[in-house]
A and B are shown apart, each in its own frame.
Chain A
């Protein structure tokens, strides 16, 4: 498979790489990352996405690209409804609106937290439910589920959970418009009702982190970040609601597509034109699941604040536990962009990619208008995480998208062969990182060495002009799902 170098951080996948490509692929990566993405079959998936009807400009991949199902992880595709553009549920994935949030504090690592980190990690592990099939902090009735699906973080706020200003610093103000709970199936509602406020399993986590280095003092100051500060990063999604919603609509799309004459290179890329009733119902249900995901992270934040209050014996407000930002990395959104000299509203699929609006975008909280949208990039347990901001040119370069994490480089089986869970725990603790895991045996699947070097990934994003670095944070405590 041939890649054409466009710049030091961009590689074109020419039209014709696979049959039926409407646009080229464009992979943002260093040469080493691009080579690995070819070996990993992920570039073939970039080419497959380029065959989707109505796709515009290019099928993009972010520097954390790796082999996914249908779409590559790190894939971005925008389709134009006025040109037969489609929506593909697989292009959002099963964990609808999975995302990351960063909570800052007024606490300093050396002065305030270092001596209590074991107690803090233990308490977080107790107060935030985690693991396979775990029940959440809230058990909802069917009527309450409908409110969460429609109102997102507004529902827990109406019950006195969380702080009013949390909504402002959540993507979309914590509520995705156009949610249609009536298109969320009974099964999805049943799965989600007992799970609100739970972390889940796999690569989902809570991390206590310390701000280690600032790259942009002004942007960091606007976000309330300073060197030595303790923050909390949370990675989780829409739990069974999202999983079931994607499953339901994959079946619908799979059944409808042949009658519309649409053929796809991979069955998981199943899609229907955005104007089609099935697409509209999917987008409504997807938005509802996204509201659940936002509410889920919001409710867990309450458990995080309780944990800090318990350990430090001060109120969460006194501890300054404010939300910096909450942003998703698995979603399709209707967004306006300039294409071929005209303003068009496109359906932007981001599968393992983060929205990264530049400065002055109207959808940003007023406080962040001058600096651009914060992008929270988790590392790989044991390695650094980053706070970035979107750039003015990211709209033109990648439909305002950047990476979502380090990106896996190794299968779970390979990772477990390299080190056992207890060995990994010992290794992390020797590096000053306290760990609480649901199961030690499974910890090794998520070992840092199973992922790419996150520093290289964010440097490639910056080199490609997709986002800029603001701060690097190092983990001092990890709670794994």
Chain B
């Protein structure tokens, strides 16, 4: 994975700026960014969990992907170990998410409630790099 994320300042919440050489890398960076914020990023081996996300456009697909990860994290009580995302078109993605039971791990992260559509963007820059920004409610 060569995508990357950085934190965007927000008075009450937290933003993520995501970059990658392909949309798939941007989604993978989003996964790592969210897992890191949650304190639930434990890269390495884990059980494979398949995720299919569908949305009305690429921006909403990013929000939907993050919401799917938040649901998995909470409902299955797991941490994240890796992401491989394929993006066949603008409105769907297929992902292999590696997860591990949370067990007695203390998660030193923020509780993320959801992804928002506030200032949501997802575009390809003139140099070919894909860039997305998204804010999450914490």
- A residues with a Cβ closer than 8 A to B are 40, 42, 66-70, 73, 90, 93-95, 131-133, 187, 190-191, 200-202, 240, 242-244, 246-247, 250-251, 254-255, 266-268, 270, 408-414, 439, 441-442, 445, 481
Q: A132 contacts B117, CB within 8 Å?
A: no
CB neighbors of A among B50-107 (8 A): 55-56, 59-60, 64, 67, 70-71, 73-75, 77, 102, 106-107
Check if B111 sits within 8 Å of A200, measured CB to CB: yes
When the two chains form their complex, are residues B116 and A243 in contact, meaning their CB atoms are under 8 A apart? no
Q: Which of B39, B111, B114 contacts A481 (CB 8 A)?
A: B111
* B33 → A minimal CB distance (Å): 14
CB atoms of B135 and A243 under 8 A apart = no
Among B56, B110, B117, contact of A445 (Cβ-Cβ < 8 Å)? B110
Contact of B120 among A94, A131, A191, A267 (CB under 8 A): A267
A300 to chain B, nearest CB (A): 16
Known: A94-B137, A202-B138, A254-B56. A132 touches B75 (CB 8 A): no
Give how many A-B residue pairs fall within 8 Å (CB-CB): 108
4 interchain residue pairs of minimum CB distance: A201-B111, A69-B118, A267-B117, A94-B113
The size class of the interface chain B forms with chain A is 35 or more
Contact of B108 with A by CB under 8 A: yes
Residue of A nearest to B64 (CB): A251
Chain A contacts for B116, CB-based, 8 A = 69-70, 90, 268
Name 24 A/B residue pairs within 8 A (Cβ), A-sorted.
A66-B11, A67-B10, A67-B11, A69-B117, A69-B135, A73-B12, A93-B137, A94-B137, A132-B109, A133-B73, A133-B77, A187-B75, A201-B110, A247-B67, A255-B56, A267-B120, A409-B11, A411-B9, A411-B11, A412-B138, A414-B9, A439-B106, A439-B108, A441-B108
- Inter-chain contacts of B7 with A (CB < 8 A): 413
Using a CB–CB cutoff of 8 Å, the interface residues on chain B facing chain A are 7, 9-14, 38-39, 55-56, 59-60, 64, 67, 70-71, 73-75, 77, 102, 106-111, 113-120, 135, 137-138
Distance between A449 CB and nearest chain B CB, rounded to angstroms: 14
A481 to B107, CA, bound (A): 12
